[in-house]
Amino acid sequence: MATSRTLATAAVCTAVALGAVTGCSSSGGFGDTSAKQSTGAGQSLTVLIASSGEAETAAVKAATAAWAQRTGNTVTVQIASNINQQLGQAFAGGNPPDLFYVNSDQFANYAKGGSLYAYGEQIPDASDFSEQLRKAFSHDGRLTCLPKDSSTLALAVNTTMWQQAGLTEADYPTTWQQLADDAAKLTKDGVTGLVTAPDYQRLGALFKQAGSWITNPEQTAMTADAPGNRQALEYVQGLLKAGSAKYVADVDAGWGGEALGKGRAAMTIEGNWLKGAMAKDYPNVPYKVLPLPAGPAGPGTLAFSNCWGIAAKSRHQAAGVDLVKQLTSADQQLEFAKAFGVMPSRTSALATYAEKYPESKAWVDGVAHAQPPVTVPGFNQVLTQFNTDLQSLRTADPAAVLAALQRNGEQVVKNAR
Amino acid sequence: MLARFPRPLRLLGYAVLLGFALLYLLPFLLQLANSFKTDPDAAAHPMTLLPDGGTLDSYRRLFGLAHGVENVPFLGWLGNSVLVTVLVTAGRVLFDSMAGYALARIAFPGRRLLYGFVLAVMAVPGVVLLIPKFLVLKSFGMFDTYGGMVLPLLVDAAGIFIMRQFFVSVPREIEEAARIDGAGTFRIFWSVVLPMSRPSLIALTVLSFQGSWNEFTHFLVSTQSSEHDTLTTGLAHFVSGGLGSGTQYPLKLAAALVSTVPVAVLFFCFQRQFVRGANSGSSKG
Amino acid sequence: MPADPRPRGLHGLRGLRGLREGAWGWLFTTPMVLVLGLFMVLPIAMALWVSLLHWDGQSNPFDGSADFVGLDNYRRLFTVDGLDRTLFATSLRNTLYYVVLTVPVQTVLALALALAVNQRLLRGRGALRTVFYFPSVTSSIAVSTVFLFLFQGSGAVNRMLGWVGVQGPNWFADPRGLVWLVLGWFGVDQPAPTAGGPLGLAWSEWFAGPSVAMCTLILMAVWTTSGTFMLIFLAALQDVPRELEEAAALDGAGRRQVLRHVTLPALRPVLFLVLTLGLISTWQVFDQVYVMGKGAPGNTTLTPAYLSYSSGFDNADYGQGAAIAFVLLGLVLLLTAVQRWALRERDGAPGPRSKGVRRAAR
C-alpha cells in the first residue's frame, strides 16, 4: 500500500512539474504584436548603441541621463558588441530595446519587417536634415528614423612626409592622375603612398567619381557592371600593382587611421571618425584632410549615417520620440561632435560645425556630392562578399569581381521588390 | 621486462615532454601575467611573465571597485552563471539518474524505445539546434527568461547514458533483497541504489557542473538582454566587439581567468571524475 | 494508470505488479521525455517547417503569414547559382581544411602523449597528464580570449617567432590561403577566380588551403582536445595485457617492434573511435568562430554552424539558416552512423567502467 501512496504522490509532483514547464510561458509568444503604451513620468527606457569607444559611450550616457533627469524617466544605455546580430535576435525574440542605433545597411531590413516605429511625422523641423539622409531613412515614403549623425570620406595626408618627398600644397591631388603620381613619390622606406581598407565603403567613392554606382538611383536595378565601376577598380588595381597603394592588412594595420598614425601610410581614405582616433591614439602625427580627388566624372565621396530607431514593440514610443528629439537637437549634436568627432546630421548644425572645425572642411564639403549607401533589404550580405573579393583585387580581374557583384545583387534586388 | 631506455635517449625524452608541457601551460601563464599589466604594458611586452610593477586595475574593474572608469558587469555574469549552473547540475543529477535507473532496471513497456530515443538524441549536435531552440523558446514565451536558460538543460542524454551504464553493472541481488523486505521501487532507488552509486553521482555532478558552466551556444540563443548574460555570453560579447575594443586585453584576460577558476578548482579536486567523463565520451556519439 | 482492482489470483497479482512497475518506469523517465521532447524533438520539427519558409523573424512562422517556399532554401545551397551557395561552399571548404588538419594532428599528438605518459618509469607522469588535459576542461570562450591575445599582430606568438628570426603574420587579419601563400614564395600568384568548380566556388578557392587565420583555430582545437583523446588512449593502453607485451619482449622483440606489432594493433578500435569522435566534433566548430572573428577575414573562418547562425540572426533569413542546420545535422548523423556501425558489438572500446579507465583515473 505504501508504494501506491508514494506512486500517487510522485504522480502529483510530476504533474505539477509538467504544469510548471508549460505554465512558465508568460506573454510574448509569436502572436503578440500589440504594444500597450505607457504614458507620464517614471518610464524606464532601454537604449542600445554600438559605441566607437569610451568617449562615445560616456557622451551618450551623459545626454540620456540629462534627459532622464529632466523628464523623470530612467534610461539604461547598453553597449552592443555586434549591434546587427543583437537587434536581429531582439526583434525576432519580440523583446527589443526601446531606442537603438540603426545602421543604414540594416535599415531597410528592419523597416520592411515592421520592426520600426515610423515617427518622422512627429518631428516638426525634419526638413533641417539633408534630403539625402531623410531619403535613406524613409520607408514607403515615410521618414521612419531620424539621422543620428553624418559622415563622408576624404583624403588624409601626413604633412611631414609630404614635405620630405619634396611636395608642396600645390601638389595636393585633385585628379586620379595626380593621386597616382603623388602616391608613387611618397612610397619609400617602409612608407606606402596610399593605404586604405579593402572595402566598398572606401573604394566605392571612386565609383561615384567615375560617374557610376552599384545600383541605379532608385535602387531597383543593379548597375555594378557599368564601365565606370570597372574603370575605378582598374585604376585601384594599377596603384596596387605599382606598389604605391596597399591595403591596411598588408602594412599590419587594422584600418587607415592606424596606418597613418603608425607612419606606414602617407595618405589614407577615411571618414571624419579619423579625427577623434588620431587625437586620442596618435596626437603627434601631423596630418591634413583634403577632398578626395575628382575622377573622370567629377568629384564624389560616400555618405554614411546611423539613425535613431524606435521599436514598433516599444511601450515607450512617446517618451522615445521625446528622447530622440533631444538627442538630435542641434546643440546636442554639436556636443557629440566635440566629444567624439561625429558630424551633425542637421544642416543648420553642420554649418556651425564647419565654422568651428575648419580642419574638417573637406568632410563637410563632401556632403554636397556624396553617394548614400545601398539600402535594399538583404543587400548587406552581397556587399560583404564584394568586400571579400576586393581583398584580392591586386591579382583579380576587375570585370569578374564586378560581374559577381552584379549577379549576387540582382537576386537580392529582385527579391526585395 | 622491457629494458629502460638508454640514458641519453631518456634525457631527450624528458626534455621533449617538458617542452610540450610548457607549450600547454604557457598560454595560462601568459594570461595570468598579462592580467596584472596595464594596457600599454601588455601591448608592448606581452611575453614578460613578471609584470613591471603589476596593477590590480583589471580585477578592480571586474569586481566593480574601480573609480572613474567604466566597470564591467562581471558580477552580474558571475551571479547568472552560478545560478544557472547550480540549478542545472541539481536537475541533471536527479533526472539523469532517475531516467538511467529506469532504463537499466525497471521493466516497463516502451523501455527499449526510450533507450533508443536517448541514443538518437545523443547523436544530435548542439550547434544545429541554435535556430530550432530559439523558435521553441520564443513560442513558449520563454525567450530571454531564466526558465528558458535552465529548463532545456535540465536533462542531458549523455548523462542518462552514463548512469544507465552504471546501473546495469550494479548486482541485482541487492535490489532483490530489498524488495523481499517489502521496499517499493522508489524506496529501492532512493535508499538502496543511489547511496551505492556515489562515485558515479559525483562524476555526473562534476561533468554537469563543467558542462553548464562552460555552456555557450544555448545561452546565446535563449537570451538577448544583458541582464541575462552569463560568464560565457558576457565574455564573448565583450571580447568579440568591433575593432574599437581591440585593446583592454588585461581586462579581458582577467575576466577569462576568473571565469576559469571554479572549473579549475573542481578539476584539481575531482580529476578522476573528469577522466572518467572523458572516457564516457568514448561511448557516446 | 490505476491498477485493475479485481483480484485475479497469482497471475493477476503479477500483472498488478507489472503495471505498477510500468507506471514507475514512465514516471522515472517523465522529466527526460518532457525536456528532451520539448527542447530537442519539438525544436527540430519546428525548424524543419521553418526551413521550408522564407521567414524574416519578424512575424509568426506558424500562422501562414510567412511565404512557403518548399525546398527553395535547400536549392539555394546546392543548385541555384548565387551568393548563398558561394557562402555555403566557402564554409564547407573552410571546415574541410579545418577537419583534415585538426583530426590527424590531434590524434597523433594524443597518441604520442599517451604513449609517453604511459611509461611506467616516467617521473611526474601524474603532473604531466594533468597539464596536458587541463586545457580540455576550460571554457571555449575563455580559451579563445587567450588565443586572441597571443596571436595579435604584435602579440606573444609573433614575438617568439621573432626570436628565431621569423616575421609572423597578422594572424587574425590574414585571409591568404596557405597553399597560395607557399606558392607565392616561388613566384606563383593566386589566379583570378574563375567560374567553375563544385557548388559555384572557383577551383582556385577550393584549393587555397586554410587561411592563416584558420590556422590559429586549428592550433587551438589541437591544443584543447588532444588532452581528452590522450586520456582515451591512455585508458586503452592500460587495457592492453601486459603479459602480451612482455611475452613479445622475451621473444626478443625490440621496443619499436612491440609497439608496432602488439600495442598499436590492440589500440586499433580506440584509434578509430578517436578519429570519428574528432571528425564529428570538428564539423561542429562554432564558439571559437563566434569569438575570434565571426567568419572574418574574407569569410575564411566561416563554418556551416556559424553560417547557419548568422543567416538567421544577422541576415534575418531564418529559413536559410535552418536549412543549413539540417544539412549539417545530416552530415553529423551520417558520421555518427558510420562510427556506431563500425564499433558495434566490439568490446575494444573502453566503457566508463573498464579496468583501464579506472587505472587511468588513478
pLDDT tens-digit map of C287-327:
999 998 888 787 889 999 999 998 888 888 899 999 999 99
Shortest distance between the Cα of A13 and any Cα of chain B, in A, equals 13
Check residues B256 and A278 and name the one with the higher pLDDT.
B256
Q: What percent of chain B has pLDDT over 70?
A: 91
**Which tops the pLDDT comparison, B39 or C179?**
C179
Close Cβ partners of B83 (under 8 Å, ≥ 6 residues apart): B146
Residue to mutate among B72, B137, B143, with most A CBs inside 10 A, is B143
Identify which of A27, A82, A86 has the shortest CB distance to residue B224: A86
- pLDDT reading at B126 higher than 70: yes
Average pLDDT over residues C158-180: 86
pLDDT in the model for residue A20: 44
pLDDT exceeds 80 at position C253: no
Query: So what's the pLDDT on residue C350?
Result: 43
Other Cβ atoms within 10 Å of A353 Cβ, number: 23
Cβ neighbour number for residue C295 with a 10 Å cutoff = 24
pLDDT band of A1, cuts 50, 70, 90: very low
| C-alpha B252 chain-centroid distance | 20
Let me know if B120 is exposed, middle or buried by CB neighbors in 10 A (0-12, 13-18, 19+): middle
What pLDDT score does C10 carry? Answer: 43
Q: Is residue A78 less than 8 Å (CB to CB) from chain B?
A: yes
The answer to whether residue B281 scores a pLDDT higher than 90 is: no
- What pTM did the predictor assign? 0.85
To the nearest whole Å, the CA of A299 is away from the closest chain B CA by 30
Least confident of A161-175, C242-256, C288-302: C242-256
Q: B132, C325: Cβ pair inside 8 Å? A: yes
Q: Which residue among A2, A27, A95 places its CB closest to the CB of B144?
A: A95
Q: Which chains touch C (3 or more CB pairs under 8 A)?
A: A, B
- Look at B142 and A54 and tell me if their CB atoms are within 8 Å: no
Query: Which one of A85, A113, A385 has the shortest CB-CB distance to C86?
Result: A385
Lowest mean pLDDT among A177-186, A226-235, C56-65: C56-65
Chains with 3 or more CB pairs under 8 A to chain B: A, C
CB contact (8 A) between residue B221 and residue A28: no
Provide the grid cell at A54.
569610451
Q: Which amino acid is at C236?
A: A
Beta partners for residue A101, in sequence order: A308
Q: What is the mean pLDDT of residues A80-103?
A: 85
Given a cut of 50, whether residue B243 has pLDDT beyond it is: no
Query: Which residue out of B1, B2, B93, B196 would a mutagenesis test of the C interface target, given it has the greatest number of C Cβ atoms within 10 Å?
Result: B2
Q: What is the pLDDT of residues B35-80, one digit of tens each?
A: 998 877 887 888 888 777 788 888 988 888 877 666 678 999 999 9
Q: Which of B58-67, C29-38, C184-193 has the lowest mean pLDDT?
A: C184-193
Q: What is the pLDDT of residue B138?
A: 87
Closest CA to B220 of B95, B126, B154: B126
The confidence band for C7, taking pLDDT boundaries of 50, 70 and 90, is very low
pLDDT (average), residues C212-227: 94
The pLDDT of residue C309:
93
**pLDDT at position C58:** 74
CB contact under 8 A, C58 and A21: no
- SS3 state of residue C327: helix
- Mean pLDDT, residues A65-87: 88
Report which of C216, C148, C150 is spatially closest to residue C178, judged by C-alpha positions.
C216
Contact assessment for residue A302 and residue A370, using Cβ atoms and an 8 Å cutoff:
yes
| Predicted confidence (pLDDT) at residue B285 exceeds the cutoff of 70 | no
Distance CA A4, CA C210 (A): 63
Q: Is the pLDDT of residue B34 over 70?
A: yes
> Tell me, what's the pLDDT at B241?
61
User: Which is more confidently placed, C9 or A195?
Assistant: A195
Q: What is the mean pLDDT of chain C?
A: 84
Question: In the structure grid, which three cell numbers stand for residue C87, read together?
Answer: 557562402
Question: What radius of gyration do chain B's Cα atoms show?
Answer: 24
Q: Is the peptide bond before A373 cis (omega within 30 degrees of 0)?
A: no
Mean pLDDT across C179-189: 83
Of C60, B141, B135, B148, residue with least CA distance to A25: B141
Contact A342/A149 with Cβ under 8 angstroms?
A: yes
Cα-to-chain-centroid distance, residue A191:
29
Greatest Cα pair distance, chain A, in angstroms, is 104
Lowest mean pLDDT among A243-247, B80-84, C289-293, C329-333: C289-293
Poorest-pLDDT segment among A251-260, B256-265, C106-115: A251-260
Model pLDDT, residue B4 = 65
Kindly indicate the confidence band of residue C35, based on its pLDDT and cuts at 50, 70 and 90.
very high
ipTM of this complex: 0.90
| Residue numbers of B between 225 and 244 with CB closer than 8 Å to A | 225-226, 237-238, 240-244
pLDDT classification of A152: cutoffs 50, 70, 90: very high
Q: What is the mean pLDDT of residues A198-216?
A: 93
Q: Which residues contact B73 (CB under 8 A, 6 or more apart)?
A: B226, B229, B234
Reported as a single tens digit per residue, the pLDDT across C93-122 is 999 999 999 999 999 999 999 999 888 778
- A80-89, A288-297, B19-28: least confidently modelled range: A80-89
In chain C the beta strands, taken as DSSP E runs, fall at: 53-54, 67-68
- What pLDDT is stored for residue A25 in this prediction? 39
Which residues lie below 8 Å from residue C123, measured CB to CB, with a gap of 6+? none
| Full DSSP string of B157-222 | HHHHHHHHHHHHHS-HHHHHHHHHTT--HHHIIIIIIHHHTHHHHHHHHHHHHHHHHH--HHHHHH
Confidence of residue B284 (pLDDT cuts 50, 70, 90): very low
Q: Tell whether B55 lies on the interface with A, counting CB pairs under 8 A.
A: no
Using the predicted structure, report yes or no on whether residue A34 has a pLDDT greater than 60: no
Residue A134 bridge partners (DSSP): none
A142, β-bridge pairs: A139
Kindly report the average pLDDT of chain A as a whole number.
Answer: 86
Contacts of A26 in chain B (CB under 8 A): 141-142, 145
A54: distance to nearest CA of chain C, Å?
21
Cβ–Cβ contact C193 with A under 8 A: yes
Phi, psi angles (nearest 5°) of residue A231:
-60, -45
10 Å CB burial of residue A177 (0-12, 13-18, 19+) is exposed
- How close A249 gets to chain B, by Cα (Å)? 13
Closest partner CB to B141 (pick from A29, A54, A80): A29
Percent of chain C with pLDDT over 70: 89
Where on the phi/psi map is residue B183: left (φ > 0), alpha (ψ -120 to 50), or beta? beta
CA dist., res. A12 & res. C241, Å (int) = 53
Residues of C with CB below 8 A from B189's CB?
Answer: 28
| Closest by CA position to B138, among listed C43, A48, A78, C326 | C43
Interface contact flag, A6 B221, Cβ < 8 Å: no
Per-residue three-class SS string for chain A: CHHHHHHHHHHHHHHHHHHHHHHCCCCCCCCCCCCCCCCCCCCEEEEEECCCCHHHHHHHHHHHHHHHHHHCCEEEEEECCCHHHHHHHHHHHCCCCCEEEEEHHHHHHHHHCCCECCCHHHCCCHHHECHHHHHHCEECCEECCEECCEEEEEEEEEHHHHHHCCCCHHHCCCEHHHHHHHHHHHCECCEEEEEECCCHHHHHHHHHHCCCCCECCCCCCECCCCHHHHHHHHHHHHHHHHCCEEEHHHHCCCCHHHHHHCCCEEEEEEECHHHHHHHHHCCCCCEEEECCCEECCECCEEEECEEEEEECCCCCHHHHHHHHHHHCCHHHHHHHHHHHCCECCEHHHHHHHHHHCHHHHHHHHHHHHEECCCCCCCHHHHHHHHHHHHHCCCCCCHHHHHHHHHHHHHHHHHHHC
**Residue of chain A whose alpha carbon sits nearest to that of B130:** A89
Residue whose C-alpha is closest to residue A149's, from A319, A278, A22, A275 = A275
Mean pLDDT of A293-305: 93
Q: Which residues contact B233 (CB under 8 A, 6 or more apart)?
A: B77, B216, B219, B220, B223
Please give the share of chain A, as a percent, with pLDDT higher than 90.
50
Considering only the beta carbons, identify the residue of B131, B252, B276 that sits closest to C325: B131
Q: According to the model, what pLDDT value does residue B69 have?
A: 66
Name the residue of chain B whose CA is nearest to A21's CA. Answer: B151
Using DSSP bridges, classify how beta strands A151-158 and A265-271 pair: parallel, antiparallel or unpaired.
antiparallel
Distances (CA, A) of A80 to A51, A62, C90, C293: 7, 18, 28, 16
Residues above pLDDT 70, as percent of chain A: 91
- B92 pLDDT higher than 90: yes
Cα-trace Rg, chain C = 26
Lowest mean pLDDT among A9-13, A64-68, B25-29: A9-13
3-state secondary structure of C299: coil
Q: Write the CA distances from C307 to A198, A315, B193, C44, integer angstroms.
A: 22, 33, 46, 18
Give me the residues of C, 125-154, that contact A with CB < 8 A: 153-154
What does residue A28 show for φ and ψ, rounded to 5 degrees?
90, 30
Choose the mutation target among B226, B235, B248 for the interface with A, i.e. most A CBs under 10 Å.
B226
Q: With pLDDT > 90 as the criterion, what percentage of chain B qualifies? A: 45
* The pLDDT value given to residue B112: 92
pLDDT at residue C130 greater than cutoff 80? yes
State the sign of the Cα–Cα–Cα–Cα dihedral C202, C207, C210, C213: negative
**C41-65: pLDDT as tens digits:** 999 999 999 999 988 877 778 887 7
| Residue type at A196 in one-letter notation | T
